[in-house]
Structure 1
Amino acid sequence: MDFDLVVKNGIIVTASEVLQPGLEIGIKDGKIICIGTALPASTSTQVIEAEGAYITPGGVDSHVHLAQKNSPTGDGWETGSRSAIAGGTTTIIAFASQPKDATSLYPVLEDYDKKAKDQSYADYGYHFILTNPTKAILQEELPVMAAQHGITSVKLYMTYEAMRVDDRQVLDILFACRSLGMTTMIHAESHDMINLIIEGLERNKNADPFFHAVARPRIAEDEASYRAISLAELADAPMLIVHMSSEVAVNHVREAQTRLLPIHAETCPHYLFLLSEEIKGKSHDHFSGAKHVCSPPLRHHPKDLEGLWQSIANGTFTTFSSDHAPSKYDHPGGKRLGLVDGIPRFTKIPNGLPGVETRIPLLFGQTPACQPPEKANLTLSRFVQLTATNPAKLYGLAGRKGSIAPGYDADLIIWHPKDTGAVTISQDLMHHDIDYTPFEGVHVGNWPRYTILRGQVVWDKSKGVVGNMKYGQYLKRGKGQVLTGRIGNLPRGMIEDERRYWL
C-alpha cells in the first residue's frame, strides 16, 4: 500500500479507549485505510511525526450560526470555517433559517446554499430552523429535504417573537420528524415568563446589559425544558435540547433518560467557564458586558457551573457545541445596537458569542492530557464522545465523521506533546471576523498542532491556516441515531395502545 500520509508515534484516542502509544495511521485518498505499526512510506508519502502527542478525531461542531440575516456583523462562511479549523473542528453544521412569512423551504435552501458554496475551509451541513411549519412543509417538503439533500435535522424556538413556535406546532413537527427519522433540536425558554420580567425591568428603568441575565432566569429554562420533554414524550420522538445552562433543567433531562426516553442534551463552553458577572462590564467601559449577552444567559453562581461539569462527566450531555453566533462589539450594527442615544437597552443587544475556534481547546484542557487526573473534569474518551463521535452519530454522519477507524474520513487533531502546547486565549490569536473573544485571558493546556481534513493538513500551528477555502465539502447526511433511551415508550399514566385512538 502506497499511503498518501502516515501519522506516526501518536497516542490515538477514540470514544471508547486510549490506544497504546506508537500506533500509526495510514491514509489514502482522504480516508483512514489502516491503523498499525511500521507502516510503509514511499518517497511520495507525507509523514507526520506526532512525537508522543495525543491524536483525536477532527471536531464536529453541530451548532454554528454563519451568514444569517439577523446577524449582519457576524461571521460568514469563509471566516467562520477558517476559525473552526484553527481550533480543531473539521465539520460544522450551520442553520438555514426560515423567515416567519416563508411558506416553502426551497428558497431558504437555495439562498443558503449560495452563501456557503466554495466558501468553507471545513466540511459542512445544514439544519433548518422552522418558524412557519405549514402542513405542506411537514408532509411534502421535509421528506424531500431529508432524502435528496441530506438535511435530517430541524431546530425550533420556544421564545423570540419572530421565531417561536407554539406547543401545538412543536408537536406537529415532532410527529413529522419522528416519521422521517430526523433529529429535532429545541431552544427551551419560557417566552411568557421572559416577557413579563422584561416589561417590569423596563418599567423600573433597569436596562443595563447585566439585566439581560435577570430577564431570563433559570426557572424560565427549567420550565420550558420540562415542557419540551413532555411534548416529546407524548409524540414518542427523539429530541435534543440545545445550549443548556441550568442544572435543574439538565436534571429534567437526566430523569427522562433514566426512563429511557430519547432525550439528548447539549451545552456550550460559555456555560462551563463564565458567569453573569462578566455581563456587568468593565469599570472603564460599562457597556462592554454586552460582549457576553447570549440566550440562555450566563448564570450567576459557581454551583451552576459545577452542576454542568458533573453532567459532562456522568454522560447526561450528548454533545458539546459552540453555539457560535457572534456580532461585532465595536460596530453600530453589532452589539452597540444596544446603545440607544447613548443609553443602554439590553433588549436591543444582539444575542450570541463567538466560540467555534475555542470550543475544543477549552474542553481538552480539562482532560488528563492537561490536568492532574484528580483535577480533570472529564476523561479523554468522554472528550471525544462530546466533541466528535456523538454529534456525528446524532446528525447522520456515523461511519464517515467523528471517529479514528478504517473507512472513516481522515479528519484528525494532532495535539502538541505534553507540556508544550499551552496557550492563553486572546483576540490576537483568533481567526474569526469578530472583534473580541469572550474567553480573553483564559489559559488552556494545549492547542491543536495540526488539523487534518480528509487527509490534508489545513491548520499548522507554526504556519497558521494552510487549507484551501474551497476544500470544504457539503455533507449529505443520513438519518440520525438515538444515542440515549429508545423509541416506543408509553407516556406515564397512559394505557397500552392509547395513542391508537387519536393518531
Structure 2
Amino acid sequence: MPAQPYDIVIRGGTVATASGRFLADVAISGETIAAVGRGLGPGAREIDATGKLVLPGGIDAHTHIEQVSAGGLLNADSFESATTSAAFGGNTTVISFAAQHRGLDLRKVVDDYSALAARGALIDYAFHLIVANPDAKTIETDLPALIGEGHASIKLFMTYDLIKVDDEPLLDVLLTARQNRALLCVHAENHGMISWMGKRLVAKGYTAPKFHAISHPRGSEAEAFTRLITAAALIDQPIMIFHVSTREGAEVIRKARGEGLKVFAETCPQYLFLTRHDLDKPGLEGAKWMCSPPPREAEDQEALWRALALGDIQTVTSDHAPYRFDETGKLSAGPQPTFKQIANGLPGLEVRLPLMFDAMVSKGRPEFGGRGLEAFVDLTATAPASIYNLPNKGAIAPGLDADIAIWDPARVVTLSDQMMHDRTGFTPFAGRTVQGWPVHVLSRGRDVIAGGAVGVAPGTGRWLKRQGGWAAEPTGRLTADMDPERNFGARLL
C-alpha cells in the first residue's frame, strides 16, 4: 500500500535548532511535527524551502497588548493587531500581561483579559500576572489559585509611583512564588533615584524627551538588581530580570549566576541597537524613542552582546509597548508635555527577530563564533520556551507543535513606518536595512502568514497552560541543615 501522505511537507530547507543546522524535510500531521529527515514521504501539500532556513517560530515573552497603563492609558494594539504584527515578524507565541492596578481584583483582571485574548489572538499566547496590589487576597488566595490553573509567572515593578512594590511585599510575593513554583519577573530600577532626578530636571526646565534618559541614572539599575537578587536569595526563589540595559547591570547578573543563584535575564533590541542619543530629536520627536529603562551608550550595547554570548542573559524580547505619537498615546498630556508626562514604551513585535537575525546571522556578530544562527534560535525561541514552561514550543522536533518560520536569508528589507502591522503608527527602527526575513509562518500547522497575507482568523490562537516549575530548581538553601539562623528561616517558609 502507498504511504499515507503527511498533511504538509516543508521540503529541502536548512533546519536550524539551538544545537545545530542540517538539510532536512519537515513533515506535519495535523498540528504537530510528525517527522524531520531526508527524503520524507509525500505531503498532501508541499512547501518548497530550497535555499531557505526552517526555524522554530519566535517566542516573544515580554509584550504589552491591549493593556491599560497605571495612568489609565490604553495602548494602541488589540490582540488582533498585535498578534498579526508578531506573526509578520516570524513569531508564533507571545506572552503578555494581565495587569492588576491598585484596588483591582486579580481574578477579575485575568478573566477580563482572557476574554480579550480569546476574541482577538491569531497565534498562541500566555500571560504574566502583574501584581500592583499585594494585599492578603491577592497573595494568599488569587495568586496560588491562578498559578495552579496555569499562569505560572508573576511580574512586579520596583519603580513607578502607581504600581511599585516595596521591599517587604516583594518578599511576600517571592515567598508565594516559591511555595507555588512560579517564576517571578521584575522591572528592577531604584525608584528613589529616578523620582529624585526627574523632579529636579523638570524644575530646572530640562523637559525635552532627551532628558528622560538622564532621569534614569545608570546606577539605579545595578542597585535594584542587587537588592532584588539579595531578596530572592533569602527566599531561594528563581527570578527573571527584565530588560537589562547597562554594563553594570549585566555584571551584577554575571556575579550572581557565578555564585549559583537562580537568576535569569533578558534584554531587548532597543538596548542592543539604540542609544540615549536617539532621543535627542527636534521638538517632541524624541518621544518616539522613550522607554524605561532608556537606551544607554554604545559601550553598554557591547557589554550586552557579550552577556548574551556568555549566557548571562538568556533571552531577547521586544517589550512591545505601543503608544501612538498623538493625543491618544505619547501626547495624551497635551501638545507640550514634559518627559515625565510622556508614556514610556516602544513598539517592537514585528522587528525584533529581523533585527536580531541581521546582526547575529547575516552580519555574524563575532561573540557567537560562527554559531550565530543556533544562538539566534536559542535566544528567541528555545530558551524562552524552557524558562517559561511553554508546552511543545521552541524547537523543531517530532511531537512538538508545528510552529515554524521559513526565512529567506538573502531578502533585504528597509524598515519603515508604513510596513508595520501594529497600530502604533511608527517604528523607532525606521530607515534601518536588514538582511533576512520570515516569508512563511505556520502556527500549529496553520498558514498564519503566507504570500504576504494573513491566513487565519482572529481568535484562533490558543492560551497556553503553563504548569508551575522552573528551568533551574531552587537549591533548598533555607531548608538545609546549615546553621541555626538558616534553620529558623526555614521554619518561616
2:455 maps to 466
What fraction of aligned residue pairs are identical, expressed as a percent? 37
How far off its partner does 1:364 sit? 1.1
Partner secondary structure for residue 237 of structure 2? coil
1:305 aligns with 2:301: yes
Q: Where does structure 2 lack aligned partners over 5 or more consecutive residues?
A: none
- Are 1:349 and 2:342 counterparts? yes
Change (3 A) 1:350 1:263: same
Q: CA deviation at 1:292?
A: 0.6
Instruction: Please report how far the alpha carbon of residue 499 of structure 1 lies from its aligned counterpart in structure 2 after TM superposition.
Output: 2.1
Say whether the 8 Å CA contact 1:394–1:480 is kept in structure 2.
Answer: no
3-state DSSP of counterpart to 1:445: strand
Contact 2:418 2:425 in 1 (8 A): no
Question: CA shift at 1:155, angstroms?
Answer: 0.3
Aligned-partner Cα distance in 2 for 1:40–1:195? 63
After superposition, the Cα gap between the structure-2 partners of 1:389 and 1:493, relative to the gap in structure 1 and judged at 3 Å, is farther
Q: Which amino acid aligns with 1:8?
A: R
| Alignment correspondent of 2:285 | 288
Q: Structure 1 stretch 26-35 or stretch 135-144: which is displaced more? A: 135-144
Alignment of 1:78-477 (within 5 A): 78-102=80-104, 104-148=105-149, 150-282=150-282, 286-299=283-296, 301-329=297-325, 331-337=326-332, 340=334, 342-368=335-361, 370-372=362-364, 374=366, 379-398=372-391, 400-416=392-408, 418-419=409-410, 421-460=411-450, 462-477=451-466
Output one character per residue of 1:213-249: Cα deviation in whole Å (capped at 9) or x when no partner.
1111111111111111111011100000001101111
1:27/1:214 CA distance change after superposition, 3 Å: same
Alignment check: 8 A CA contact 1:61 1:356 kept: yes
Partner amino acid, structure 1, of 2:300: D
Distance 1:245 1:467, change over 3 A: same
SS in 1 for 2:164: coil
Paired residue for 1:478? 467
Alignment of 1:5-84 (within 5 A): 5-18=8-21, 20-21=22-23, 23-41=24-42, 45-70=44-69, 71-84=73-86
CA apart distance, 1:496: 5.6
Q: TM-score, normalised by structure 1?
A: 0.92
Contact 2:75 2:321 in 1 (8 A): no
**Cα 1:216–1:53, aligned 2, differ >3 Å: closer, same or farther?**
same
Q: Which moved more, 1:156-165 or 1:194-203?
A: 194-203
Structure 1: distance between partners of 2:96 and 2:36: 32
Instruction: Give CA-to-partner distance per residue, 1:114-149, whole Å, 9 cap, x none.
Output: 21122011111111100112222222222221222x
Q: Is structure 2 residue 489 aligned with structure 1 residue 488? A: no
d(CA) in 2 for partners of 1:344, 1:470 = 37
Q: Distance in 2 between matches of 1:348 and 1:494?
A: 51
Q: CA 1:17/1:493 → structure 2, altered by over 3 Å: closer, same or farther?
A: farther
Amino acid at match of 1:253: I
Amino acid at match of 2:395: S
Indicate the SS of the match to 1:428. Answer: coil
Task: Give the partner amino acid of 2:228.
Answer: A
Tell me which amino acid in the other structure corresponds to 1:468: A
Residue 42 of structure 2 aligns to a residue in which SS? Answer: coil
Q: Secondary structure of the equivalent of 1:343?
A: coil
Write out the 4+ residue segments of structure 1 that deviate beyond 4 Å after TM superposition: 372-378, 490-496
Q: CA deviation at 1:158?
A: 0.2
Alignment match, 1:497: 487
Q: 1:486 to 1:53 in 2, by over 3 A?
A: farther
SS in 1 for 2:286: helix
SS in 2 for 1:237: coil
The 8 Å contact of residues 236 and 487 in structure 1, kept in 2 or not, is answered as yes
Is the Cα contact below 8 Å between 1:159 and 1:188 reproduced in 2?
A: yes
Change in 2 beyond 3 A, CA 1:443/1:376: farther
User: How many angstroms apart in 2 are the aligned matches of 1:305 and 1:438?
Assistant: 17
Deviations 1:398-435 (A, max 9, x none): 4x11111111000011111x42x111111121111111
Distance 2:469 2:453 in 1: 34
Instruction: Decide whether the 8 Å contact of 1:6 with 1:27 is kept in 2.
Output: yes
Q: Deviation of residue 52 (structure 1)?
A: 2.7
2:101 counterpart letter in structure 1: P
Q: Contact (CA 8 Å) 2:439, 2:452: kept in 1 or not?
A: no
Deviation at 1:46, TM superposition (A): 1.0
Shift of 1:376: 6.4
TM-score by length of 2: 0.94
**What CA distance in whole angstroms lies between the structure 2 residues aligned with 1:496 and 1:375?**
41
- Alignment length (residue pairs): 484
Q: CA deviation at 1:111?
A: 1.3
CA distance in 2, matches of 1:442, 1:433: 20
Deviations 1:269-327 (A, max 9, x none): 10100011111114xxx21000011000111x210111111111111112111100110
Instruction: Specify whether residues 489 and 444 from structure 1 end up closer, same or farther in structure 2 by C-alpha distance, changes over 3 A only.
Output: farther
> Which piece of structure 1 moves more, 156-165 or 1-10?
1-10
Superposed CA offset, 1:165-206 (max 9, x none)? 111111110111111110100000111111111121122111
Which runs of no fewer than 5 residues in structure 1 stay unpaired? none
Specify the code of the residue in structure 2 equivalent to 1:396. Answer: N
What is the RMSD computed on CA atoms of the aligned residues? 2.0
Paired residues of 1:262 and 1:482 also in contact (CA < 8 A) = no
- Residues 226/477 of structure 1: CA separation in 2 closer, same or farther (3 Å cut): same
Partner secondary structure for residue 6 of structure 2 = coil
Change in CA separation of 1:234 and 1:375 when aligned onto 2, cut-off 3 Å: closer
Question: What secondary structure sits across from 1:184 in the alignment?
Answer: strand
Determine if contact 1:366/1:376 at 8 Å carries over to the other structure: no
